[in-house]
Structure 1
Amino acid sequence: MHFKVLTGAILTASLAMTPADRAEADAGDFIAGAIIGGVVGHSIKNQRRTTTRSRTVTRKKSTRSSIPSTQEGRNIQASLNYFGFNAGAVDGQLGRQTRNAVSQYQAYLGYPVTGQLSAFENNLLISSYNRAQAGGYAVQQQVASTPDGTRGLLKTYRSEMAGHSPAAAAPTTTIVVAPQAVPQTTTPTFAATAAAAAPLAGAATSAAASTTGLPNFLGAGTQASLASHCNTVSLITNTNGGFTTLASMSDPNVALNEQFCLARTYAIARSEELVGQIQGFTPDQIATQCAGFGPAMKDKVASLSLKPRDAVVADVSSFVLSTGMSPAQLQGTAKICLGVGYRTDNMDVAVGSALLLYAIGEGVYGELMGHHLSQGFGPAKRVDMAASWYEAGLAAADSGAAAVFVPGQPERTELIRQASLRSSGLPAAGTLPQAQPASSTGLPTFSISE
């Protein structure tokens, strides 16, 4: 009798521990490094009271273990679903339903129906999705005027990539750049966060600069569109037969552009993941909040092409200290707004978010500042000053920091190192700041359900 009681207690304890371990593993993807997530998967309870033998058999036959979940898979599924090809849940597992959706996509565009995406088909799908997400109202008009709805965008974008563009629609994504709108100080805040509406320091700096009496004939021009640039890069990559490798690299600038646009895609995807975990606010409302990053970080972004890396980091560190936000809050907010900035083609938001992430200790994001300086999106083009930022990002990766862009390609680090050195040398070292709460600013914060 005592043996039965003891055995029952052991079995009960083992059954109670198993789901918690699995829930922690499932939640790890969202929790690591972000303020979003909480206890994801906490609702996965022990629903079946079976013997330990039957639970073991069920686990061995699980189809999830045979189909790995990848970020690339999630990007493909999200893109297919957007264009009306039902790939099911966006879980990163490319199973039968995803293959059926791929077949429908191929049939619609007149490609051989294989259920497997070729490099060109994959690039067209992902780049079209990112472009559609960044297009805003112009895309809505395009969809409304096409009998095929969102699917029609695929044929339109494919024609434009082939050189049959009826009109340059991409510049419409730059409507978010509104330098004269800075003085408005009634920045909306989230209910769960005590964020005071105060004048932004960047606005005062901008106003002072405009009274210097110096003429400015180019400041009112629209910035180049990174989304449009990455579409062109994607077309060149497909024409060349795939991404540049370390062995095949002949033009370092081509390699850097490819990796820049890949990083942009991953940042957008990660941002959308985190946005999906925020309750009580729509993606549009979050995008509006992130727009507040632009005026607040504008002068810091501009200083990238004027000051050494250490001086820029010192300025951003001082700004971090003035926000009154914890490093965890800033980290999650900046990761969300980084993707929003790229999706909306707002370089002040995107680069400003990357600077904040670097300043609070996420050294791998130094790569992004290198890309922006080497190509001239956001800050002015300064290939010479890009080198130290590349070096800082690569040093973080070399020291064991987790890869945030294309994590499945460890050779990517060496490719960027060689390409950046061949463009122009000058490696440098990096510094890390610490954050302390102080006064509030115009930065958004996001309340995440625990």
Structure 2
Amino acid sequence: MYIKVMTGAVFAASLALLPAERVEADAGDFIAGAIIGGIVGANAKKQRRSTRTYRKKSSRSKLPSTQEGKNIQASLNYFGFDAGSVDGQLGRKTRNAVSQYQAYLGYPVTGQMSAFEQNLLISSYNRAQAGGYAVQQQVAATPDGTRGLLKTYRAEMAGQAAPATAPSTTIVVAPQPVPQTQQVVTAAAPLSGVAGLANAVAPPASGLPNFMGAGTQASLASHCNTVSLITNTNGGFTTLATMTDPNVTLNEQFCLARTYAIAKSEELVSQIQGFTPDQIAQQCAGFGPAMQDKVASLSLKPRDAVVADVSSFVLTTGMSPAQLAGTARICLGVGYRTDNMDVAIGSALLLYTMGEGVYGELMGHHLSQGFGPAKRIDMAQSWYQAALMAADTGAAAVFVPGQPERTELLRQASMRMAGAPASTLPQVQPASSSGLPTFSISE
């Protein structure tokens, strides 16, 4: 308890010394709100208070652990580049392994991977894990052993002929060394045929449906890496004129929205004085448990019922809508960056509930693909429609604002995903905003 009081005092002192003109509104609201994770996250973890002791902190700061980091380390270790233990903390040993990986493939040795280098590494690892006996044959036939797979897969991605021993499956589910599942699209077959992305969610081993919020437990970051590879290989993003598979289109737009959310969050975080990005990420992580049941209910309850639950939660925080919105914009990107779906989706739910209907798109994506809540394409439709209604009534675009046909692209893809023929798609009529609560909370 003493530590919590001191932490609150330090936050308050930092706020008092912070010049108002140095932080834009959203970032300021994040600090003014005392960081929602520090308020509701503590309530969600009261049981830990009795086990905490006052101890002297180590002078060595601990690196943040992320699922993306674990994927990188596991992949490097598999191909013989020693990254150490798979703990998600990208320290010196991991950077040395990255340098060895870059040197082996002939890339500039920087210790920091480019987006393509990371995509190649992780997708190659997933493919090798899923290839079974065929991969063992490839390794045995390659002078460089396991590492040789990297050059083989890279050559295939570039359109060169693949060795006869290469696996010929187009879509497989790769086992992971961590308790997560990940869909993999191999590069051995033409990547234009990616209709199988619709089956990205594997059924539970028991054969029973799971609607309690466990979802796929897959890594959205890894999924978007795969989507990025497919998009780049196919010559760019799908347009209205080129759309053949609505699920591929929705996946592309989902990952684009995730990227924009992360970029906006990092922009706001950079304007906050007195807190490190890691400290802010820790506060956002504490927000996840408070929204976990709301996120789980997405696959169980209609949209209006979920919004009503979130509205009740908002009223208990004692924070103004501006404070909550500022916090949610930051934590939305943090959740996506750290692969914490409770934080990301919980933040999107807050923004939607407080009147920013365009964020309904994110809940539609999560339900249609099964990241976070259980996969429910039928329930995804109402969230997509709400986002489209907001756009039709003039709401400013928050994701990919430079793509003029994006609203219609989402409309066509989401309706076709639900089974409506393209020629019979109904026009979405503007909806009244009366269904969204309006809050006036005194600070």
Q: TM-score range by the shorter chain?
A: 0.5 to 0.7
Residue equivalent to 2:221: 227
Match of 2:241 among 222, 244, 247: 247
Which amino acid is the alignment partner of residue 151 of structure 1? Q
Residue equivalent to 1:145: 97
Deviations 1:396-441 (A, max 9, x none): 11111110000011210000000001111697956211224489xx
1:435 aligns with 2:397: no
TM-superposed deviation, 1:143: 1.6
8 Å Cα contact 2:213/2:299 also seen in 1 = no
**5+ residue gaps in structure 1?**
1-26, 39-129, 175-215, 440-450
Between stretches 267-276 and 146-155, larger displacement belongs to 146-155
* Mapped partners of 1:293, 1:346: distance in 2: 11
* Residues 170, 344 of structure 1: alpha-carbon distance in 2 compared, 3 angstrom cutoff: farther
1:329 aligns with 2:304: no
* Mapped partners of 2:259, 2:278: distance in 1: 19
TM-superposed deviation, 1:142: 2.4
Match of 1:415 among 400, 409, 419: 409
* Residues 370, 34 of structure 1: alpha-carbon distance in 2 compared, 3 angstrom cutoff: farther
Residue equivalent to 1:371: 365
8 Å Cα contact 1:173/1:345 also seen in 2 = no
Residue equivalent to 1:158: 120
Residue equivalent to 2:63: none
* Residues 30, 398 of structure 1: alpha-carbon distance in 2 compared, 3 angstrom cutoff: farther
* Mapped partners of 1:315, 1:229: distance in 2: 30
Which amino acid is the alignment partner of residue 403 of structure 2? Q
TM-superposed deviation, 1:31: 4.3
* Residues 134, 328 of structure 1: alpha-carbon distance in 2 compared, 3 angstrom cutoff: farther
SS at match of 2:29: coil
Paired residue total = 284
* Mapped partners of 2:391, 2:413: distance in 1: 16
The equivalences for 1:38-437 within 5 A come to 137-140=88-91, 141-147=93-99, 148-152=109-113, 155-161=117-123, 223-424=217-418, 431-437=435-441
* Mapped partners of 1:341, 1:261: distance in 2: 14
Which amino acid is the alignment partner of residue 222 of structure 2? S
Deviations 1:326-368 (A, max 9, x none): 0000000000000000000000000000000001111110000
Which amino acid is the alignment partner of residue 340 of structure 2? N
Deviations 1:27-61 (A, max 9, x none): 999547973699xxxxxxxxxxxxxxxxxxxxxxx
Deviations 1:290-339 (A, max 9, x none): 01221000000011111111111111111111110000000000000000
8 Å Cα contact 1:323/1:437 also seen in 2 = no
8 Å Cα contact 2:27/2:271 also seen in 1 = no
Deviations 1:263-295 (A, max 9, x none): 000000000000011111100010000012210
* Residues 328, 156 of structure 1: alpha-carbon distance in 2 compared, 3 angstrom cutoff: closer
TM-superposed deviation, 1:139: 3.5
Q: Percent of pairs identical after alignment?
A: 68
8 Å Cα contact 1:298/1:348 also seen in 2 = yes
* Residues 282, 405 of structure 1: alpha-carbon distance in 2 compared, 3 angstrom cutoff: same
Which amino acid is the alignment partner of residue 139 of structure 1? L
SS at match of 2:244: coil
**5+ residue gaps in structure 2?**
1-20, 33-66, 73-86, 100-108, 130-173, 181-209, 421-425
Residue equivalent to 1:13: none
TM-superposed deviation, 1:157: 3.5
* Root-mean-square deviation over aligned CA pairs: 3.8
Which amino acid is the alignment partner of residue 150 of structure 1? G
SS at match of 1:303: helix
* Residues 290, 299 of structure 1: alpha-carbon distance in 2 compared, 3 angstrom cutoff: same
* Mapped partners of 2:24, 2:214: distance in 1: 40
* Mapped partners of 1:253, 1:259: distance in 2: 10
Deviations 1:218-244 (A, max 9, x none): 998971110011011111111211101
TM-score (normalised: structure 1): 0.56
8 Å Cα contact 2:216/2:371 also seen in 1 = no
Which amino acid is the alignment partner of residue 436 of structure 2? L
* Mapped partners of 1:34, 1:312: distance in 2: 28
* Residues 366, 173 of structure 1: alpha-carbon distance in 2 compared, 3 angstrom cutoff: farther
TM-superposed deviation, 1:145: 2.6
* Mapped partners of 1:30, 1:247: distance in 2: 39
TM-superposed deviation, 1:134: 9.3
* Mapped partners of 1:398, 1:219: distance in 2: 31
